[in-house]
Amino acid sequence: MCNNISAGIISISSAVPEHVLTNFDMEKMVDTTDEWIRSMTGIEERRIAAEGEATSDYAIKAGKIAIERTNLSPEDIDLVIVATISGDMPFPATASIVQDALGCKNAAAFDLAAGCSGWVYALSTANAYVTSGIYKRVLVIGADLLTRLTNWEDRSTCILFGDGAGAAVVAEVEEGCGFMAFELGSDGSGARFLKIPAGGSLKPCTPEALAAHEDKIYMEGREVFKFAVKVQGTACEKVLAKSGMTPNQVDLVVPHQANIRIIESSVKRLGLPMDKFYVNLQKYGNTSAASIPIAMDEAVQDGKIKKGDIIVAVGFGAGLTWAAGIMKWAF
């Protein structure tokens, strides 16, 4: 993009917990049905981290595989970014824990919080560092254990989320490949629709706040849904325009895996067939910042993404935020 350096993803990986929680299991936990969850969201099951596990455990697993899939060693990584809203602790950054565990001794590290848009935000950050020549190799992880922050008595949210992580190494790629454009945005007036009210500087976790589940996810689903339908399509259109591409030149869209009805709205808006959108939310639910890299890794393993393909990644999330990136796949 500048300095004549093209940056792109040179490896991708993911890690999800083993334990599967199906919609039928959820029927025993809250007043819901498999039929309602499938028809309203498309989700059939999700993965849940075991007791004692932390977001960093999955970030480390995914990050390790991503580095192993390159010819680099951990010492070659200059920067670790972990996109997350469910870090191990309020501080230090989960990225620092990951950097140490992976032996990325020469890397700087920070977390990036942009909800489910976080991983695409982090990709654009990595792109800026690599194309500017500041850093050569950036490990970009999206990791969230949102089920730790779920109110299991709230049937309208607890059915949505799952746990996991995905990771990519971003580095210089051959000219003509890699990132072509990004479109990022935020509308903070919607911050109130999706939040964890207590536990930050605004409201401590008092016994009253805990009793009211204010340390857990609060969401006005209908508002988030309307926002998502609007911005996901617009973000795709804008990133296509920035890159000079048209929808029919896109080989695969990898959208945030939140709700099949939100994805279907983008299918209509872009006028592309459904099979141009990669969907795996039925297996994992909404894994927040991890959802796009988990889907992208699966698409690569399935042979649905090949070198030279034009790929769009698009997401939306808490903030409210949105992010889209378009790239020519480099490996």
- Strands 138-145 and 20-22, by their bridges, are unpaired
Is residue 4 part of the annotated active site? The answer reads: no
Length of the chain: 331
Tell whether residue 288 is a contact of ligand ACO (CB under 6 A). Answer: yes
> Is 262 strand, coil or helix?
helix
Q: Kindly indicate which of the ranges 11-19, 204-212, 219-227, 246-254 contains the residues binding ligand ACO, using the contact rule CB under 6 A.
A: 219-227
From 127, 151, 259, 286, the catalytic residue:
286
Q: Which of 116, 143, 145, 326 binds ligand ACO (CB under 6 A)?
A: 116
Q: Counting contacts by CB under 6 A, is residue 36 touching ligand ACO?
A: yes
Binding mask 169-198 for ligand ACO (x = CB under 6 A): -------------------------x----
* Residue 287 engages ligand ACO in binding (rule: CB under 6 A): no
Quote the DSSP letter at residue 172: E
* Amino acid identity, position 36: W
Q: Is 32 in the site for ligand ACO (CB under 6 A)?
A: yes
* Minimum distance of ligand ACO from residue 164's CB (angstroms): 13
- C-alpha to C-alpha distance for 294 and 280, rounded to whole angstroms: 9
213 is a catalytic site residue: no
Cα angle, residue 54 at apex, residues 48 and 55 outer, rounded to 5°:
85
Cα separation values, 258 from 39, 100, 179, 180, 262, Å: 13, 31, 24, 25, 8
Regarding 221 and contact with ligand ACO (CB under 6 A), the answer is yes
Residue from 105, 192, 222, 306 binding ligand ACO (CB under 6 A): 222
* Residue type (1 letter), 239: V
Alpha-carbon gap, residue 327 to 312, rounded angstroms: 7
Binding site for ligand ACO (CB under 6 A): 32, 36-37, 40-41, 115-116, 155-156, 159, 194, 219, 221-222, 224-225, 228, 258-259, 286, 288, 317-318
